[in-house]
Amino acid sequence: MTEEGGESVCWLDRVCPDCGLLVEDVDLPAPCPRCGATVPSDSQERPGELT
């Protein structure tokens, strides 16, 4: 089961860069419900980068 470690990485892209709140069930980028900072969608911003 090598996929166990990979799944948690996805959630790092959904954490508010300002307060660290986990933002779930929203389409990123979206404003943080706690502090209002924009949570970027890092994982979807590089469509052409296929290493």
Q: Is 22 in the site for Zn ion (CB under 5 A)?
A: no
The residue count of the chain comes to 51
Q: Tell me the two tokens of residue 23.
A: 């933002």
- Cα–Cα distance, 46 to 10 (Å, whole number): 15
Q: Is 15 in the site for Zn ion (CB under 5 A)?
A: no
Closest CA to 15 of 1, 30, 4: 30
Stretch near Zn ion under the rule CB under 5 A, chosen from 4-12, 13-21, 43-51? 13-21
Site string for Zn ion, 24-43 (x = CB under 5 A): --------x-xx-x------
Q: Is 23 in the site for Zn ion (CB under 5 A)?
A: no
